[in-house]
Amino acid sequence: MQPSPYPLVRLKPKADARKIRHGSPWVFASEVVTDRRTKKLAPGSLAVLQDSERGELGVVAVNPNSKIFCRMLDRDPGAVIDRAWLAAKLARALDLRARLYDRPFYRLVHAEADGLPGVVIDRFGDVAVIQPNAAWAEALLPELAEALRDVTGVTCVIKNASGRARTLEGLDEGHEVLFGRAPEGAVPVEMNGATYMADLVGGQKTGLFFDQRDNHAFAARLAARARVLDVFSHVGGFGLAALAGGAASALAVDGSEAALVLARDGAAQMGQGARFATRKGDAFEVLEALAREEATFDLVICDPPAFAPSKQALEAGLRAYERVARLAAPLVADGGYLGLCSCSHAADLARFRGACIRGIGRAGRAAQLIHTGFAGPDHPLLPQLAESGYLKALFFRL
């Protein structure tokens, strides 16, 4: 076997090498021998990870500026991380999505769960949007974009470099068209009979949240002839799905007028503009205002941003989820349905469910939990990394 071209990084004697051997993809700075040599490694460098007995565990991406010092790329210590390696990972990810979906609109790469740590790629037909949220992916971005073109045949790749994950890696923010021509205006995406307008250049994240696809479909089953309230709606997620499911009306609430414009455009594309309304404002304030107006709905869904993006924010986040439930529950007609969602990986299902139940109880409502949903299969979960299974959706009958 040829010697690896990469330098060595070693675990401390007390670090648990079994965790790495059993599939954990992260090694924290506290677990690594950080001498002057390793501290001088540039963020995004590749290295071979050794345990304390000098057994080789695999090839890792290194970032001395991050709490996650090493991200496992390949458990073969002789692997070479190049364009061909990237193409093989992308081809494996594409095979799964091609089996799941008959049209090329999905999350193509879900970071660690697809063997590309920190990399998110969403596909919108002939356009792919990459979020390189780890230093190694930023360093290899040209090769990654070329491999993506070779494997999928996309004609345009856009870099969306924003968000908390990049900040934690010490990376800057910004958007860039890596090759091809970016779409002029929003791209229509059909899911569950609804049409969503995705702004791939200026929109939030990659422009659309594919992860709620299955939960949208469940909500649509509850929506026949219903009056629907969609809070934290972004570009119309649950509201447009409800209209596709036969809802009598849908009101979308969001703090972003740009997102609401896209939501209205989506409703118009569906021929449902007359049954769709929007209300811009702080979600908590709008919920309180609707209560004062004595408004009621047959189906209320709240899909807020991550209130608990870290362990440090967990308790405050749980209080926020409880407050959402407390304010939303009174707006649900007797026998109606309440959907509550969380994309906070720090709030596990049990804690999120507890916060929601407390909020419903504080509102004086009794509830049946009828369904628990998660992200769709294009967002696979890596069993050794709880963070990859971040999305929870609870549906109650009140």
CA 32 to CA 260: how far, in whole Å? 47
Query: Could you tell me the maximum CA-CA distance found in the chain, to the nearest angstrom?
Result: 73
Q: What one-letter code names the amino acid at 249?
A: S
CA 305 to CA 297: how far, in whole Å? 22
Query: Whose CA is closest to 127, among 19, 199, 76, 230?
Result: 199
Question: Count of residues for the chain?
Answer: 398
Query: Whose CA is closest to 269, among 243, 297, 306, 250?
Result: 243
CA 204 to CA 126: how far, in whole Å? 20
Q: What one-letter code names the amino acid at 117?
A: P
Query: Whose CA is closest to 183, among 211, 204, 149, 155?
Result: 155
- Among the options 70, 341, 343, 356, which is catalytic? 343
CA-to-CA separations, 58 to 4, 64, 353, 355, in angstroms, rounded = 10, 18, 38, 41
CA 12 to CA 33: how far, in whole Å? 5
Note whether 352 and 322 are within 8 A (CB): no
Q: What is the DSSP letter of 104?
A: S
The b/e string for 92-102 (b: 16+ C-beta within 10 A; e otherwise) is ebbebbeeebe
CA-to-CA separations, 267 to 195, 231, 236, 280, 344, in angstroms, rounded = 7, 16, 8, 16, 29
User: Active site includes 356?
Assistant: no
Which residues are catalytically annotated?
343
